Structure formats: C-alpha cells, structure tokens
Amino acid sequence: MHVGLFGGSFNPPHLGHLVVAEALREACGLDRVIWMVAAKPPHKIGADLAPPEDRLEMTHRAIAGHPHFVVSDLEVRRAVEKGGPSYTVDTLRQLTAALPHVRWSLLVGEDSLAAFHTWRAPDEILSMADLVVYRRPGVESGDAPMRRFARVVDAGRIDVSSTDLRARLRAGRSTRYLLPDAVADYVAARGLYR
C-alpha cells in the first residue's frame, strides 16, 4: 500500500488543500492520503492558530465523503500526552513502526522544500518516506538543497491561502468557493477567526 502523508495546520482547510491532495493522490498513485493535523507546527509557534480540536473537526468536514482521504489526530494526541512541537520525523517514526508494510510519501509544498534541510532529522525523514513536492503559486524553490531528493509534481495552482482566508473572515468578507461549505458553516458556528 502506498500512502501519502499530507501534513499542515489546516487553519482552516480550504479548497486549495483539497485540489492539491487529490492531484497528488492521482499523480503518485496513492492508495490513501492521510491528512495529518499539526497540533503545534514548529514553524508557526505563536501564530494565529485555531485550537487543534477545531482544526481537526474542520479537516474531517472538509474531506467528508472522499473514499481515499482520512484525517489523523496522531500529532494532536501526542501534543496532549507529551507537549512540544509537532515534528514530522516523530510522526513518521510512529507510522512506520505501526505500519511497516506501507510505502510512505511525504507531500509538501514548494515553499517547504527550500527549508526542508532545516527540519528536524531530514535525512531520517528521507529514509522513511519519499519526498513529493507540489508547486505553489508565487513560490519558486529554485535549487533548494533537497530538490535532488524530491519528486516535483504540478498539482494545479489555486491561489488561496489560509492566511488570506483568516483575514477575509476577520473583515467579514466572503469565503464562498474558497472554503468547503461544511467548513464555512463550522467556522461561523464556532465564531473562529473573528
């Protein structure tokens, strides 16, 4: 079985995430894509993050009905039990120990590729998973140090970001056609990003 690990803060999960995940699933022949909600992303400490429980619920709602997408709360549970940031290497250690028969692909944006060599234990990550990089609007990784280890996939370019969506929500602007309806309903009901 070939599984893609699609991690992020998903703050909130939006249509761009869905388009990218589906394009990578198809391009890489993935049997499943696990949406790994980061409890405390190390590169976003102190950022405007909704509580992890809300981000988990929004992600569940965003992918509902897709037969190949699943949401994992592994990093959120680990943060509750042990505290500290959510490191990809720790997640892959747990996953490969629990599911040694799975071939893993780590799905990251081109913006992450440029900094991948600064992640905790990048060589160990590459020993456990293939690195699949998707292009992002306005981002060029150029000759990033890890490019030679990565498969670069053009997953379509939808110029939408969680940062922009949070700003729209704070300003009372429309997020229609940018957020899945179930996510937009949840955000409104919970009063998130106001």
Q: Report the pLDDT value the prediction gives residue 144, as an integer from 0 to 100.
A: 56
| CATH superfamily for domain 2-190 | HUPs (3.40.50.620)
Structure tokens at 27: 């391009």
The answer to which of 7-21, 51-65, 73-87, 127-141 has the lowest mean pLDDT is: 127-141
Nearest to 119 by CA among 74, 143, 89: 89
* DSSP characters over 148-177: GGEEEE--------HHHHHHHHHTT---TT
Confidence of residue 83 (pLDDT cuts 50, 70, 90): confident
Instruction: In whole angstroms, give the CA distance from residue 91 to residue 125.
Output: 10
Handedness of CA 147, 109, 157, 166 (dihedral sign): negative
> Where do the structural domains in the chain lie, given as residue ranges?
2-190
Question: What is the mean predicted confidence (pLDDT) over 189-194?
Answer: 95
Query: Cα–Cα distances in Å, from 154 out to 2, 3, 148, 157?
Result: 19, 19, 16, 8
Q: Report the pLDDT value the prediction gives residue 159, as an integer from 0 to 100.
A: 82
Q: Report the pLDDT value the prediction gives residue 137, as an integer from 0 to 100.
A: 58
Instruction: In whole angstroms, give the CA distance from residue 184 to residue 165.
Output: 10
Q: Report the pLDDT value the prediction gives residue 180, as an integer from 0 to 100.
A: 97
pLDDT in tens, 22-47: 999 999 999 999 999 999 877 665 56
DSSP 8-state secondary structure symbol assigned to residue 137: T
Q: Report the pLDDT value the prediction gives residue 94, as an integer from 0 to 100.
A: 96
- Among residues of the chain, what percentage have pLDDT more than 90? 71
- Find where tokens 């599911």 sit: 99
Q: Report the pLDDT value the prediction gives residue 162, as an integer from 0 to 100.
A: 93
